[in-house]
Structure 1
Amino acid sequence: MKFEHLIEVNDLADPLLTPLTREELWFGLLCRAEDARAFLPGLEACRIVERGAGSLVRDLHFGHAVIRDRVNFDTLRWIRFETEANAQHAGGSLTITIEEPEPGALFLRFAYHTSLPDQGEDARYAEFVRSAYHQSDLDTVRIIRMIAASGGLEQ
């Protein structure tokens, strides 16, 4: 299954919405990479097992299930989570790209690639998964806003 959608982060027409900077948005995405517990319900622990230039390898602990993924990123532009297939997880990837079609108008593009079929008998299940991914991505933006509001980027 391939699934992609766009979430508006800054609605420039809404004066009640505090706009985020690209740096605040990026910092929130890095928080998701470093410790995803606030972003993934049911995640009990997120352990970094390897760190390199522009990448991390993590073990995600969901009860007895441990899922390993690799996080690659291009600072202030995109971040990609590539999950290894194992007995508990079929594997797949999520790429989150920051888009800014005009100054201050920030969007996040979420692009998923999974081994889940989206045709035939599995089509209804795939639609459920798409809906869950979309809600999770809305929650990601909400959590990033909370991090920014709490001064998470202040030095």
Structure 2
Amino acid sequence: MYQLSRTVPVNEPGQPVLTRHDVWNGLVMKANNALPYVPQMKKCEVIEHGSGWLLRDILLGDEPLRERVTFEPQERVIFERVSGNEPGRIENSLGEDAQGQLTLTFSFSLTRKGLEGDPEAEKKHFAPMERMYFNAVASTLAAVRRMVAEQRSRAPT
């Protein structure tokens, strides 16, 4: 199983300040349609949804996958790969650093069918994808910043 985790600060100097609620709304939007956030994703279709979850079919590069997405409101979104050749779990979690500043942690634990139990082969397979996964986090935060800036500019003064 290939595992990776990274935590990034949500708010950066010179950018609109995002609240937990702002980022949460962005994560929910991304779960429902990741195409604007993950350039390598060619398809993202929600096929079923219920209270606190959805099931979606995605095409990541040329890899068809099905993910069950579970929402823990204002805290975490869990993407569980339930079919396809790359089973595992991806999480986007909201938290705070030691100074109380809002953070977003992205982590994944994935394997590739046929490479189970071969850590070096899994690393070779998944390492080139790390940038794609982390760029999705950055593009999500950028999209949320744009959305918040637009809302604030339209708000009556």
Question: TM class, shorter-chain normalised?
Answer: 0.7 to 0.9
8 Å CA contact 1:85–1:92 kept in 2: the answer is no
Match of 2:4 in 1: 3
1:52-71 counterparts in 2 under 5 A?
52-61=50-59, 66-71=64-69
Residue-by-residue CA offset, 1:119-142 (whole Å, 9 max, x unaligned): 435544443222332223222222
Aligned length: 148
Task: Quote how far apart the aligned CAs of 1:33 are.
Answer: 1.2
Partners in 2 of 1:150 and 1:83 — Cα distance? 34
Q: 1:122 to 1:73 in 2, by over 3 A?
A: closer
Consecutive unaligned residues of structure 1, counting only runs of 5 or more, are none
Q: 1:111 to 1:41 in 2, by over 3 A?
A: same
TM-score, normalised by the number of residues in structure 1: 0.79
Consecutive unaligned residues of structure 2, counting only runs of 5 or more, are none
8 Å CA contact 1:84–1:90 kept in 2: the answer is no
Partners in 2 of 1:125 and 1:49 — Cα distance? 28
TM-score, normalised by the number of residues in structure 2: 0.78
Give the AA of the match of 1:17. Q
Give the AA of the match of 1:6. T
Bigger share in strand: 2
RMSD between aligned residues:
2.8
Task: Quote how far apart the aligned CAs of 1:143 are.
Answer: 2.0
Q: 1:7 to 1:47 in 2, by over 3 A?
A: same
Partners in 2 of 1:68 and 1:124 — Cα distance? 23
8 Å CA contact 2:10–2:103 kept in 1: the answer is yes
Partners in 2 of 1:27 and 1:99 — Cα distance? 15
Judge which range, 132-141 or 24-33, deviates more. Answer: 132-141
Partners in 2 of 1:18 and 1:79 — Cα distance? 23
Match of 2:27 in 1: 29
Task: Quote how far apart the aligned CAs of 1:98 are.
Answer: 0.3
Task: Quote how far apart the aligned CAs of 1:52 are.
Answer: 1.3
Task: Quote how far apart the aligned CAs of 1:25 are.
Answer: 0.6
1:1-155 counterparts in 2 under 5 A?
1-11=2-12, 14=13, 16-61=14-59, 66-86=64-84, 89-101=85-97, 102-103=99-100, 105-116=101-112, 119-151=119-151
Task: Quote how far apart the aligned CAs of 1:7 are.
Answer: 1.1
Residue 39 of structure 2 aligns to a residue whose secondary structure is coil
8 Å CA contact 2:40–2:132 kept in 1: the answer is no
8 Å CA contact 2:33–2:44 kept in 1: the answer is yes
Give the AA of the match of 1:145. R
Percent identity between the two aligned chains: 24
